[in-house]
Structure 1
Amino acid sequence: MVIPIHDVNPVRRAPLVTTALVLVNVVVFLLTPGAAATPAGEPGPGAVCGQAAFYDRYAAIPRELVGNRPLPRVATGRVVETAGGRPACATDRPPYAKIPALSVLYAMFLHGSWLHLLGNMLYLWIFGNNIEDRLGRLGYLLLYLVSGYAAAYGFALAAPESTTPLIGASGAIAGVLGAYLVAFPRARVWSLVPFLFFIPLVLPAWAVLGLWFLLQWFYSLGYTVPGTGSVAYLAHVIGFVTGVLVMLLARAVGPGPASPGRYPPDGRPAGVGRPPRGR
């Protein structure tokens, strides 16, 4: 696994949609229970149950998506004791009306921890601006939303009985990565390589994003590393493939706002030998 820092791929217009998506994700996170979680220690039963109730209400839940109806019982946020004296989260009929299709949209802006949020925003900030430049702001936003919905519903169809909430922008951002791989496979990406003591290297986008996709696919088959068991890798795979297909379709239909003749796949503007350093 490599960690991208920035790409050498300049844009012609300010990435307003990408910036707005990052800001909205950060603001929403600060207003949700996940912001109170710290890596220093485990949250108490009250915090766990409160977070469970919040996600049952707003997150995308596979069984709800497949059946298009809310769960009959959800977490209430209260802590009760089991017969063995252990704390547990109380459940009851939901006191609210939940629309499963809208929960997918809400879930795209929910994150479980600071690490979850920052990891997603790093990839969105590095790769999103060029896709926004290539597709235009509306086209880019549609790609983001379509990829997020495809990832959530695709995962739900693969695990229709799951009641584990799906949260995070990973599926939508995976679509952005897939689109970037198609549009700019030879763009240079400064990356840190952990097994080389985090030495910064310049790698082509096809290597960085191709390796990312292969790891997601590998893990989706059931081969995981410690501490990653709660990650919906299949949703990442589906989102990435959706982004690839959308970009291939956009390229087949027409050049779009950023003409390939003026903005070739390697990120070099026409007539410029060495592009300026991007983000």
Structure 2
Amino acid sequence: MFPLRDHNPSGRTPYVVYLLMAANILGYLWYSTSFSTDRSLALFYSAFATVPREIMMGEAPLTLVTSMFIHGGILHLAGNMLFLWIFGDNMEDEMGHLPFLLFYLLSGVGATLAHVVSAPQSLVPLVGASGAIAGVMGGYLLMFPKARVDILIILIIFFRIIPVPAFIMLGLWLGMQFLGGLNADPNLGGVAYWAHAGGFFIGLALTVPLWIKRGGPRFWTRTDGQPPHPETTYSTSRIPRIPRHTPARRPGPWGK
């Protein structure tokens, strides 16, 4: 299950989303080409990625922020930027530019701390923006539970793009994080499931004041959980064909 786009247009230009995407993409292009040896790249990660044990010892607190702008590979970066593009513009539209930036950073720091609590003695570095983006998704669920999201379903040789309400797509995604977290070894690298789940609930909680300001349950009644403006319609001819691809797995840092 892979989201491609939503049908929820934003009413203003999402400058902060553009800025965050540019920071992540340009940063990746810099550090992925600037270090000629594995050792030098490892030193970079040790300086700017979050190491749970160091945080528990009160060391390197700034890595709670810097780790959000580092990714472990091009697919890691691309997936995170796609989720930010789909869900971030609407949250920035509702919150305003600077409040959204603060919301994003707080969600990311909270998500990283959730991972630290789940693996307090781990020496594996944690990198990635998806804890913060999970917070964006949590806020999106609260504000637009029935907004339609086009998802790509892949079942072995079956490919199908279907629109589903946001609460189904996001609910399934959250359930997958819990299942993954229960089965993951907190002392090994891989997907930082508890960072995802923690960021999601932190973002949802941070959005509650905005939801109440909009009217709380009355906002849902007024909009029926849909965007408070006409949704975007797409022609099926514009849906791209996406070939199957199974990336090779290799050991690496935690990714979120």
| TM-score normalised to structure 1 length | 0.76
> Does 2:170 correspond to 1:209?
yes
Match for residue 62 of structure 1 among 42, 52, 59? 52
Q: Give the structure 1 partner of residue 38 of structure 2.
A: 48
> Does 2:238 correspond to 1:277?
no
After TM superposition, give the deviation of residue 124 of structure 1 in Å: 0.2
Match for residue 171 of structure 1 among 126, 131, 156? 131
After TM superposition, give the deviation of residue 68 of structure 1 in Å: 1.1
Deviations 1:171-229 (A, max 9, x none): 000000111111100000111001172211011101111111110111011159xxx95
> Does 2:175 correspond to 1:242?
no
Distance 1:277 1:22, change over 3 A: farther
> Does 2:23 correspond to 1:24?
yes
After TM superposition, give the deviation of residue 102 of structure 1 in Å: 1.0
Deviations 1:89-122 (A, max 9, x none): xxxxxxxxxxx22111111000010000000000
Q: Give the structure 2 partner of residue 159 of structure 1.
A: 119
After TM superposition, give the deviation of residue 268 of structure 1 in Å: 4.5
> Does 2:206 correspond to 1:255?
no
Match for residue 104 of structure 1 among 53, 57, 64? 64
Deviations 1:246-268 (A, max 9, x none): 1123323x239xx959x933115
C-alpha separation in 2, matches of 1:54 and 1:223: 26
Q: Which amino acid aligns with 1:21?
A: L
Would you say the 8 A contact 1:9–1:268 is kept in 2?
Answer: no
Deviations 1:123-176 (A, max 9, x none): 000000001111111221111111110111121122211111110001000000
State the identity as a percent. Answer: 39
Q: Which amino acid aligns with 2:61?
A: A
Gaps of 5+ in 2: 235-256
Q: Give the structure 2 partner of residue 138 of structure 1.
A: 98
Deviations 1:227-279 (A, max 9, x none): x9511111111000101111123323x239xx959x9331152xx5xx3338x
**RMSD across aligned positions (CA):** 2.5
Q: Which amino acid aligns with 1:51?
A: L
Would you say the 8 A contact 1:9–1:277 is kept in 2?
Answer: no
Q: Give the structure 2 partner of residue 220 of structure 1.
A: 181
- Following TM superposition, where does structure 1 have runs of at least 4 consecutive aligned residues deviating by more than 4 angstroms? none
Would you say the 8 A contact 1:5–1:126 is kept in 2?
Answer: yes
Q: Which amino acid aligns with 2:62?
A: L
After TM superposition, give the deviation of residue 10 of structure 1 in Å: 1.4
Of 22-31 and 137-146, deviating more is 137-146
Q: Which amino acid aligns with 1:212?
A: W
Would you say the 8 A contact 1:10–1:277 is kept in 2?
Answer: no
After TM superposition, give the deviation of residue 47 of structure 1 in Å: 3.3
Q: Give the structure 2 partner of residue 11 of structure 1.
A: 10
- From the CA coordinates, give the structure whose radius of gyration is larger: 1
Q: SS of the counterpart of 1:247? A: helix
